[in-house]
Amino acid sequence: MRFLFLSERSLFRPCWMLLFGLLGALPASAQYLAALRGTVTDSLSGQPLAGVSVGLVGQSGGSATDALGQFRLARLAAGTYQLRLGALGYRFKNENITLAAGETRGVTVALATTSLNLAEVTVRQPQDPNQTLAAISHIDQTLRPLNSAQDLLRLVPGLFIAQHAGGGKAEQIFVRGFDADHGTDFAVSLDGLPVNMVSHAHGQGYADFHFVIPETVEQLKVYKGPYTARFGDFATAGAGEFSTKTSLDHSQVKLEVGQYNTYRALAMIDLLGTRHLLSKKPESAYVAAEYNFTNSYFDNPQHFKRFNGLAKYTGQLSDKTSLTLFGSYFTSSWDASGQIPERAVREGLISRFGSLDPSEGGSTNRSNMYATLTTALPHEAVLRQQVYYSQYFFNLYSNFTFFKNDPVNGDEINQRDTGRNLYGYTGTYDRTDHLGTKALHSTLGLGTRLDDAGLLLRHVVQRQPLDTASIGRLYEQNINAYLDETLELTDRLTVNAAVRADLFIFQFRGQRSDSAAGFVPLTGRVVRGRVSPKLNLYYQLSPAVQLFARSGLGFHSNDARGVVQGSGSFNALPCATGAEVGSTFKPAPNLVVNAALWSLRLQDELVYSGDEGTTESVGPTQRFGVDVSVRYQLSPRFFLDSDLNFSHGRLVQAPEGENYIPLAPTFTSTGGLTMRAPKGLNASLRYRCIDSRPAIEDNTIRARGYFLLDAVVNYTRPRYQVGLSAQNLLNAAWNEAQFATDGQLRGETTSVNELNFTPGTPFYLKLNASVFF
């Protein structure tokens, strides 16, 4: 590893010298200039704070703290300065600093948390300029109540979700004009641990986020489009990085009771307090667990059960090293009512909340662990290394077409991930150099991920096996590297240029059923690579206005079973070409707006259909859209917010009138009014709506739009909290998941292609009570 660092420095030294020459030589008196180093911590926990904005009042430029909460301001003339530090959720702090010629001064600053004030929100992100939604995301995390793991995904501006096969299955994701299925075009991670599953039994990129306890999530970073080199597979429409808390403000026990036999219990316990475990420096350790049960609102009781457990340790082993250890376990089982055809309800065969095959449902579990070591190195560099492991099991029973393929036994299928082992490593080397008075931030990343899983698809009757459609063993590895450079060309203009390289090894050993030949081999090994350059520009027009223009290539991988049997026109890693222009700005002190005009073209691809066990090409697609997010503070306690998302997408090679992208949303919007206070009464009234949209390429079948209102009321005191949440206040009859499906009911002589749907939640109440200690 030492050789790697030396090689990296020697490799890029000529580039630095060239840029240095372009920007101008150092002043002759450089040896007499001063520098300021510092560490920023949380005043309550003592833990270092990353991403804190650091600058000198009256001076241009600035910096931000790294992963260890450290910063450095260099090449300062002797004199007295006012150091200003701030971060969303923390009180801004000014400190007077006097520097002598040639001095390097060290400071430690503790920041205290404070109530949200939009007047203090800044639109510039010096350490991570690609996170253009940083201010919006932080405001949402502070204001929006989290009642479930599904609410975590809804924190992503412009993202909609739908559930269609029981509460234990991953949600269907809609974002930026994509029906991203269960995560094919939106990457999700938790503390650097990937959530999306490659070559999954049910669908490519399957992202089941239910193993996350919502109360343990501390931060969300949102990246729209394929513009950030840190993300590779699935990050075409964007990526969401969730982070769990490093420490607890207090221990908590929470109970929830709702309609339809719904219960939830939560416990979060601080283990250390003021004690020490591995170090005399700041440490924290906590455990959390939750249990859920519900029969839900369907005629067929869901019998949904879920347990989550989590343990996390974070500690500073020295001034330059921190260690994080994490472990979690998740298990869930459920029955499902599935999607039902409209004619079954119209003809009175079942009610709107009924089921045609009550044997649908499944079970799943996942164990995770990771260790992260972060080390400060000389020359303002930080090395972060993470190793992770997940063990995963998935077992799903579904029936989409009923009696179309088998009029006697029915069309129920069983999809299984029979014991997946996921191994991974991620390493990043971050370094800041100064070219004259300009800062160059460099990140070199290396990583690998290996999935080893058994995959099975078979036909069943009432969960009893009939025959096997395909079976085999998956070995899929991704090896990746990227270089990301961010240079402050002027006091206002910042350029971010990056390139990412990915190598995939697809390997599958198994067989599939063929009606004519019986079982035939489904075996092969394919190696493919993808290089993804990025170029992003950020211009600080004023302290309240940032303009941006971003571009880049991305991709999502296809299922290994489709890859190994691909033909000449096949692409294993279809490319996504994206670009956008926009701005984050504050037209008034208490008003924050983010707007972007974007375009994304997705290359021809071969997609594996887990529901049918076949592959199909959907051809290239082109999407355009506009995203607008608005956050406004009416008063110290009242906040308004709204997200408006417009998109237009078409299949490029299909004839006019038959080129609609099925289920691609054209308009979505969420928003609400929130009353927020540190203690006492808090309340939120929220809406979400999505328009009607084509469910099939010729637009003859349409998925129906809806408008919903939800409300949350909490009363909080230092030692307890009680609350009430209500979903679908207007008791609207709405369809949550919708598909155009060619199915056949028992007794029908021909199949019918029409809208199949999962009904959405009717009016629903839930009470909660928490005790803090």
The structure tokens 């170090």 sit at 279
Which residues, including other chains, have CB under 8 Å from residue 627's CB and lie 6 or more apart? 157, 158, 176, 224, 582, 594, 595, 596, 598, 643, 644, 645, 646
Clarify whether residues 730 and 611 are in a common domain.
yes
Distance (Å, whole) CA 268 – CA 477 = 36
**How many CB atoms neighbour CB 364 within 10 A?**
22
| pLDDT tens digits for range 466-501 | 999 999 999 999 999 999 999 989 989 999 999 999
Q: Is the pLDDT of residue 132 over 90?
A: no
Tens-digit pLDDT profile for residues 219-232:
899 999 999 999 99
Does residue 319 share a domain with residue 234?
Answer: yes
User: What average pLDDT score do residues 339-358 get?
Assistant: 96
For residue 48, the domain's CATH number is: 2.60.40.1120
Domain assignment present for 546: yes
Residue 6 lies in a domain: no
Burial call 641-677: b when 16+ CB within 10 Å, e when fewer = bebbbbbebbbeebeeeebbbbbbbbebbbbbebbbe
How far apart are the C-alpha atoms of 299 and 58, rounded to whole Å?
Answer: 66
Task: Identify whether residues 435 and 494 lie together within a single domain.
Answer: yes
DSSP string, 231-253: --BT-SSEEEEEEE-SS-SS-EE
pLDDT value for 567: 56
Least confident of 150-164, 384-398, 441-455, 705-719: 150-164
Q: For the chain, how many structural domains are there in total? A: 2
Q: Is residue 22 part of a domain?
A: no
* Same domain flag for 471 and 503: yes
The Cα–Cα gap between 183 and 562 comes to 18
Same domain, 105 and 226: no
- The continuous run of DSSP H or E covering 343 comes out as helix 342-346
Q: 215 by DSSP, 3-state: which?
A: helix
Going by pLDDT thresholds of 50, 70 and 90, the confidence category of residue 6 is: very low
Residue 772 β-bridge partners: 252
- 224 and 350 in a single domain? The answer is yes
In the chain, how many H helices and how many E strands? 5, 44
Q: Residue 7: its pLDDT value, please?
A: 40
- Is residue 2 assigned to a domain? no
In a shared domain, residues 532 and 677: yes
Which residue type sits at 449? R
Q: Give the pTM.
A: 0.89
Would the pLDDT of 622 be above 80?
Answer: yes
CA–CA dist 362, 373 (Å, integer): 37
User: Average of pLDDT values for 88-104?
Assistant: 85
Per-residue model confidence (pLDDT) at position 124: 80
13 belongs to a structural domain: no
Residue 401 forms part of a structural domain: yes
Nearest to 186 by CA among 130, 242, 240: 240
Q: What is the pLDDT of residue 605?
A: 64
The answer as to whether 12 is a domain residue is no
Give me the percent of the chain exceeding a pLDDT of 90. Answer: 69
Question: In CATH, what number is assigned to the domain containing residue 763?
Answer: 2.40.170.20
Query: Which pLDDT score, from 0 to 100, does residue 31 have?
Result: 57
Q: Look at residue 16 and tell me whether its pLDDT is greater than 60.
A: no
pLDDT in tens, 45-88: 778 888 788 888 877 767 888 878 888 888 888 889 999 888 77
Range of the domain at 82: 31-114
At which of 79, 114, 149 does a domain end? 114
pLDDT at site 8: 39
Q: How close are the terminal C-alpha atoms of the chain, in Å?
A: 45
Name every residue whose Cβ is closer than 8 Å to that of residue 94 and which is 6 or more positions away in sequence.
Answer: 57, 82, 83, 84, 85
747: left (phi over 0), alpha (psi -120 to 50) or beta: left
> Has residue 251 been placed in a domain?
yes
Task: Check whether residue 619 and residue 750 sit in a common domain.
Answer: yes
Summarize pLDDT for 532-553 with one digit per residue, the tens: 999 999 999 998 999 999 999 9
SS (H, E, C) 479-502: EEEEEEEEEECCCCEEEEEEEEEE
Averaged pLDDT, 407-435 = 94
Are residues 668 and 582 part of one domain?
Answer: yes
Q: Are residues 235 and 186 in the same domain?
A: yes
Per-residue pLDDT, averaged over 651-669, amounts to 94
